[in-house]
Structure 1
Amino acid sequence: MSSQEQALASLISQLALSFDGAVLGLTVACIAVRSIRRFFTTSAAIRKINRAPSLSVSDLRSILDENDSDGDGNSDYGKVVIVRGTVDAKSSVDGSWKTLWPGVLVSRDSGDKGVIIQRTQTCIYSEWRGIFGWTSDIRALFTRSWRRRESTSLRKVPFVLIDVGRRSSAEYVVVSMDGSKHPLPLTTVYHKMQPINPPVYTFLQALFGHEYPVGLLDEEKILPLGKDISAVGLCSLRNGIAEIKSCNDLPYFLSDLSKEQMILELSFKMKILFWSGIVLGSMSVGILSYAVVKNWNRWKQWKQRRQLQQQRQTIVEVNSQQDDEIEDVPDGQLCVICLMRRRRSVFIPCGHLVCCQGCAVSVESEVAPKCPVCRQEVHDSVRIFES
């Protein structure tokens, strides 16, 4: 860890522990509230998936109500269903001259056919601390840290789901990817790490601690033809054709899991969210309670000290006026702050007699009281009486 990272970590810890941990307590409380909200969201998703019928593509049309659509066979809403089917190109079921056009994507590296291709290029940089760029962090002297820069491209073509085990079928459901941000069950077909030929000035970059590229990782994932997947979403009729689209309230859209596996996975996630919300909520209540009690006691002590200082200031002003009326003060015995009254108070623990009682009380009321002569911290002051 570099010196800048250490300073940033120290600043974050100071902010988190400020106000006797109140900021930390509020942060933990926000995380607990977020966990509880995600718990209820996951619980609602489990109920929806549990109520959703799981069926094949050929049985899908039987549950779609034709009466819910308008005269053209369109429906503005649908029913949540779980459809298990095989991925196929939309051009294969169009039944027109479009069937002559394959309508699929071909992987550039592996040659596999698919309907979705995601290509990711990751450039890996080395941040090794060179001779003139090293820090006091011991780990940075013996290890290398890596930083990555990724660029991702995604290509899609329209595709459908047909019954599992059938090459072609009159019954199919069109998969609409519009507005879907759910993770996709893609298959990795190409994964290769290529070293980058270092230029001439790479040695100078490493010597002075600058980052330089060391490798390029190419990765390609596709949704291949013939893959069996489950589609979870809203299914409706569009011009008499079944269409399924993603539902934002559900964590899945296209998945390799079955209905039972989805419920088990969400149930486990729901338990983790529930107990994390309970634990973090209890921690936040404890931290905030401690911070409230601590700051309340501190405020009461400050209020009492303020009242005592006001009373003491009043007494000091009366005594100072009496002293000024009684005698004239020589120059060598004047207060070093106001230069008007006699030196009457001794600071503890330094023992300097340099201020009048009024100025001594003013020094004590400061946030960090210090002696005006030696700058030592002042704990209290004592009035000196001459017999």
Structure 2
Amino acid sequence: MSVHEQAAAAVLSQVALAADGAVLGLALAYVAVRSFLKFTTTSSALQKIHQAPSLRVSDLRSILPSASCTDSSDQSDDGKLVVVRGIVEAKSAVDGNWKSLRPHNVLVSHESGEKCVVLQRAQKCIYNEWRGFLGWTSDLRSLFARSWKEQESTSLRMVPFVLVEDGWRQHSDYVIVNVDGSRHHLPLTTVYHQLQPVTASPYTFLQALFGHEYPVGLLDEEKILPLGKDITAVGICSSKNGIPEIKSCKDLPYFLSDMTKDQMVVELAFRKTVLLWSSIVLGATSIGILGYAVARNWNRWKVWWEQRRVQEQRNPAASDDDDTQIATEEETGEVPDGALCVICLMRRRHSAFIPCGHLVCCQRCALSVVRELAPKCPVCRQTITNSVRIYDS
């Protein structure tokens, strides 16, 4: 860990432990609430997927309205949550017309030559981690411009595709996959992954010398959703012009996945257990820390109030005109620079703090320091209990 990272960690630890850990307690409480909200969302998704029927492609028409019962132009918005396992195939292959022979209805990988329905190409620029002799500039950019360090460009191409059963024939049953508006992860397969080094230049040496990031490589990556891949679709299935169509459900974490229904249920059940216990442990810890911080500060306030009450009882003659009397005593004569109060820089030093014994303040400033909630000496920062007036003989 570098010096800058150690300093940042020290600052964060001081902020987290401020007010006897109150900030840390609030942060843990926030994380506990977020974990509990994720737990409720995961529980709802687990229940929906567990209750959703697992059907074959040919069984979908049995749970959807028949095409003869509705008009050909009528589109049903109501659907049912189902889990369908099928094989990826281009929609043009099941249309049964001359358009299915056109080559642009199926995508072809640029590198591997495989046929697919989804093609994603990504290029990421990799930057160096050398800090140079003036490496603190890199630390500043890493804090305020972290997104600039990794420049990535992604292009995604997609053609309409369907899910069919194993051993399907043309004009057989299929379900159209509608990915419009879906932000779920697609089960893509990586077919090309290569890191191309960037040729260095004389300007690159100056960048490295002064700690500026510079590109050292270009990562090319290509992912596809190939034809014939066996995947599971979890979503809302409805009838569109008499043909089953499945859409993603925003409340579920899955849409198209390599996992089966049983694997999804097991993963969600494990995630649900982890989130539940995380929220319980973090919530209990935050309550304990916040309770300790409240009790600690309450006791400090009571001690400060008791000390102030005792001081007022010991000095019954102290009234509103004390400040005027103190000012009158201390303003007489010229005060050299070495004897000025370190707080107001106007009056002579007359009061020493107990127990550290530092004589650095005038009587008025010393009384204001003692009356604080957590009085500390302005020189050594040691906790003080009182101050005493020093008289020169």
TM range (shorter): 0.7 to 0.9
Can you give the 5+ residue segments of structure 1 that lack an aligned partner in the other structure? 136-146
1:323-338 pair list within 5 angstroms: none
TM-score (norm 2): 0.80
Q: Indicate yes or no: 2:59 matched with 1:59.
A: yes
Aligned in 2, Cα 1:66/1:25: closer, same or farther, shift over 3 Å?
farther
Could you tell me whether the CA contact under 8 Å between 2:96 and 2:171 is conserved in 1? no
Q: Which residue of 1 aligns with 2:371?
A: 365
Could you tell me whether the CA contact under 8 Å between 2:108 and 2:115 is conserved in 1? yes
Deviations 1:17-61 (A, max 9, x none): 212111111111111111122122111111111111111111111
The number of residue pairs the alignment matches comes to 365
1:32-181 pair list within 5 angstroms: 32-66=32-66, 71=71, 72-102=73-103, 103-130=105-132, 132-133=133-134, 148-181=150-183
Aligned in 2, Cα 1:166/1:350: closer, same or farther, shift over 3 Å?
same
Could you tell me whether the CA contact under 8 Å between 1:333 and 1:343 is conserved in 2? no
Structure 1 distance, partners of 2:14, 2:238, is 55
Aligned in 2, Cα 1:277/1:99: closer, same or farther, shift over 3 Å?
same
SS at match of 1:152: strand
Q: Which residue of 1 aligns with 2:139?
A: none
Q: Which residue of 2 aligns with 1:22?
A: 22
SS at match of 2:77: coil
SS at match of 2:116: strand
Kindly, what percent of the aligned residue pairs are identical?
Answer: 57
Structure 1 distance, partners of 2:124, 2:246, is 34
Q: Residue 306 of structure 1: CA displacement?
A: 3.8
TM-score (norm 1): 0.81
Aligned in 2, Cα 1:237/1:380: closer, same or farther, shift over 3 Å?
same
Could you tell me whether the CA contact under 8 Å between 1:173 and 1:242 is conserved in 2? yes
1:282-361 pair list within 5 angstroms: 282-311=284-313, 314-317=316-319, 347-348=353-354, 349-350=356-357, 360-361=366-367
Aligned in 2, Cα 1:263/1:352: closer, same or farther, shift over 3 Å?
closer
Could you tell me whether the CA contact under 8 Å between 1:188 and 1:222 is conserved in 2? yes
Structure 2 distance, partners of 1:299, 1:197, is 66
Aligned in 2, Cα 1:313/1:94: closer, same or farther, shift over 3 Å?
farther
Q: Residue 170 of structure 1: CA displacement?
A: 2.1
Can you give the 5+ residue segments of structure 2 that lack an aligned partner in the other structure? 137-148
Structure 1 distance, partners of 2:37, 2:219, is 38
Q: Which residue of 2 aligns with 1:211?
A: 213
Deviations 1:220-278 (A, max 9, x none): 11001111111000000111111000001111100111111111111111111122122
Aligned in 2, Cα 1:95/1:368: closer, same or farther, shift over 3 Å?
same
Which of 172, 184, 191 does residue 186 from structure 2 map onto? 184
Q: Which residue of 1 aligns with 2:12?
A: 12
Could you tell me whether the CA contact under 8 Å between 1:32 and 1:280 is conserved in 2? yes
Q: Residue 151 of structure 1: CA displacement?
A: 2.0
Aligned in 2, Cα 1:351/1:203: closer, same or farther, shift over 3 Å?
closer
Structure 1 distance, partners of 2:14, 2:152, is 34
Output the amino acid matched with 1:380.
N
